[in-house]
Amino acid sequence: MGQKRLTLVDLTQGDQQKKVSQKRVAKSAGKALGAGKRTGRIADKSQDISDITLDEALTKPEEGSAAALQTEEKKATKEHKPRERSRRYKLARSKVDRTTNYPPDQAIELVKKTNIARFDSTVSAHLNLTQEKQSVDVHFPHSTGKQTKVEIATDTILKKIEAKKIDFDILLASPAQMPKIAKVAKILGPLGLMPNPKNGTITDDPEKRKKELGSGLTRVKSEGKSPLMHVTIGKSSLSDKALLENLQALVTAVGGKQIKKLTLASTMSPGVKVDLSAMLDSEE
């Protein structure tokens, strides 16, 4: 009978390999944490690094190191800082009682008094509406100082839209042109320029509609996803009476019952709340 050979397996070999691997990780971690050779600092040799993996040691900045300080500075700069108003703005705001709804004529007078712009600023009406997606035509009796450019959809205009060269405020189209316009709907839609029968921009006679809008008729609409409307009613150089008549025309067109809150403000200046009751009486 042949002799049986017995092979002895060293069960401690695996443990020794693990110890060697741990020593290598610890040594690498010590080098990463001891980056003081580059920065002039001395690494803290008393720190327990036995439970630090190699990836953590190489990527995580040491507490108090230059890298860690830079990280903290970046976090601090990302935090929102409250806007610091100018001294002129604060002085103008102190003249307005935020808890008071002023009669329309007094509100316009106060808007002019609190105007801090050094140029002929724009006076705007900011409306909080009862519902979203509202648009109306307003015929302002006086110039608002804002020119509205109206274009009719043609092949030339569509090419400009495809190239994202949009220099108009309103786009008109006939029903027959809508299949072509559908190709640029992704561009026009987010800008609120897509022709729509509800706001009168799809019509059988685009030329007639363009003349109407060019004769002082202005199309105003609310924000895309909020029941808010911002409308220019004139320049601060316009007389108080003219601004009041433009404001009345806007409220009448939108409908007083559709307005929850009305605020007037000129460029860069504080807002003034308006008492709608007087305007609703005149509307009736």
Residues 24, 120 within the same domain = no
Tally Cβ neighbours within 10 Å of residue 193: 19
Residue 125: how many other CB atoms lie within 10 Å: 23
Residues 63 and 201 in one domain: no
Are residue 128 and residue 228 in the same domain, yes or no?
Answer: yes
Q: Range of 176's domain? A: 146-215
Per-residue pLDDT of the chain (284 residues; tens, 9 = 90+): 455 555 444 545 555 555 555 556 555 555 544 544 444 444 455 555 555 555 555 555 555 556 666 666 666 555 656 677 788 888 888 889 989 999 999 999 999 999 988 889 999 999 999 988 888 889 899 888 777 788 888 889 999 998 888 888 889 999 998 998 988 989 988 887 888 887 788 988 888 888 877 766 788 888 878 899 999 999 999 999 999 999 999 999 999 889 999 999 999 899 999 998 878 765 55
**Model pLDDT, residue 233:** 94
Query: Residue 123's pLDDT is what?
Result: 95
Task: Say if residue 122 is in the same domain as residue 233.
Answer: yes
Do 160 and 210 lie in one domain? The reply is yes
Total structural domains within the chain: 3
Specify if 1 maps to a domain. no
Q: Is 257 found in the same domain as 225?
A: yes
**The whole model's pTM is what?**
0.59
On whether both 132 and 171 belong to a single domain, the answer is no
Q: Closest by alpha carbon to 276, among 96, 144, 115, 107? A: 107
Phi, psi for residue 240 in degrees, rounded to 5: -60, -40
For residue 111, the model assigns a pLDDT of: 94
On whether both 132 and 231 belong to a single domain, the answer is: yes
Domain assignment present for residue 75? The answer is no
The strand pair at 122-129 and 259-266 is best described as antiparallel
Residue 4, domain member (yes or no)? no
Query: Are 108 and 241 spatial neighbours (Cβ–Cβ below 8 Å)?
Result: no
Residue 152 in domain: yes
How deeply is 153 buried, as exposed, middle or buried, from its count of CB atoms within 10 A (0-12, 13-18, 19+)?
Answer: buried
For residue 32, is it within any domain? yes
Q: What is residue 41's predicted lDDT score, i.e. its pLDDT?
A: 47
Distance CA(206)–CA(173), nearest Å, equals 6
In a domain, 112, yes or no: yes
The answer to whether residues 130 and 153 belong to one domain is no
Give the per-residue pLDDT at 42.
47
* Number of CB atoms found within 10 A of residue 274's CB: 27
CB 137 within 8 A of CB 219: yes
- Sheet of strand 259-266, all strands in order from the earlier edge strand to the far edge: 228-235, 122-129, 259-266, 272-273
Residues 56 and 177 in one domain: no
Q: Distance between CA 214 and CA 217 in Å, rounded?
A: 7
